[in-house]
Amino acid sequence: MCNENRMPLIGEKAPSFVAETTQGPINFPEDFKGKWVIFFSHPADFTPVCTTEFMTFAAMQPEFEKLNCKLLGLSIDSTYSHIAWLRTIKEKIQYKGMKDIEVNFPVISDLTMEVSKAFGMLQPAASSTQAVRAVFIMDPKAVVRAILYYPLSNGRNMDEVKRLLIAMQHSDEHGIATPANWQIGDDVIVPPPGSCGTAKDRVEKPAADTKVLDWFMVLKKCPHGAN
């Protein structure tokens, strides 16, 4: 059952739910076991900003699939409305060189607003009947790892969503952190030392593959792995 009292926070298990989608019924998180999930809401079908977002996500879907990540959309519209809108996108809309774009990731029909409320996608000061542009990134254990919110009027940057996903996968796999504006190939950050002795050793006896800027600021080459 969805919890309508509060949205899930980073580090918490995402709410479970069953929903109707454009790809048939889904059971979350059971149907997504072992996968990262990018779950995003949009205000309404047949709206221009949402159209550009869905086209971009759909065009990038193979890139996310390579990262072991599934896409999952939602709005407070019916499945029939979703289908009609997605058919229109494929048949009529051209944008930034994209055309004949088929959206084949699931789009949830949330007419009861149950899922939207469970994930805090409804913000009454913005709209009581439309979900804002929320993005939840969940890891293969259905734990919320990142939350992004955009206003109704402004589209999301899907390249940033992908960059963040890759950064988190690198952090999980290699036990590192990533600096501001990090991209694949850039140096990564070695986590700060947990003791005075370790801090001293890092400065006085630095590892060959590290760049020591100070005891708390140590960089090293980007490890291979998620990409």
The domain spans of the chain are 17-172, 175-220
Catalytic residue among 2, 50, 196, 222: 50
pLDDT digits (tens, 9 = 90+) for 116-148: 999 988 876 555 556 779 999 999 999 999 999
Strand positions, DSSP E, the chain: 17-19, 26-28, 36-41, 69-75, 107-109, 133-138, 144-150, 188-190, 210-214, 217-220
Q: CB-based burial of residue 196 (10 Å sphere; 0-12 exposed, 13-18 middle, 19+ buried)? A: exposed
50 given a catalytic annotation: yes
Q: Is 87 marked as a binding-site residue? A: no
Residue 79 CB neighbour total at 10 angstroms: 17
Q: What is the pTM of this model?
A: 0.91
The whole-angstrom separation of Cα 179 and Cα 161 is 16
pLDDT above 50: residue 42: yes
Its CATH class, for the domain covering 17-172, is: alpha beta
> What per-residue string of b and e applies to 37-65 under the rule 16 or more CB within 10 Å gives b?
bbbbbbbbbeeebbbbbbbbbbbebeebe
pLDDT digits (tens, 9 = 90+) for 214-225: 888 899 998 875
Domains 17-172 and 175-220 alike in fold: no
Residue 15 CB neighbour total at 10 angstroms: 22
Its CATH class, for the domain covering 175-220, is: alpha beta
pLDDT digits (tens, 9 = 90+) for 171-226: 999 999 999 999 999 999 998 876 777 777 778 777 888 899 988 889 999 887 55
Task: Give the list of residues 6+ apart from residue 160 with CB closer than 8 angstroms, or none.
Answer: none
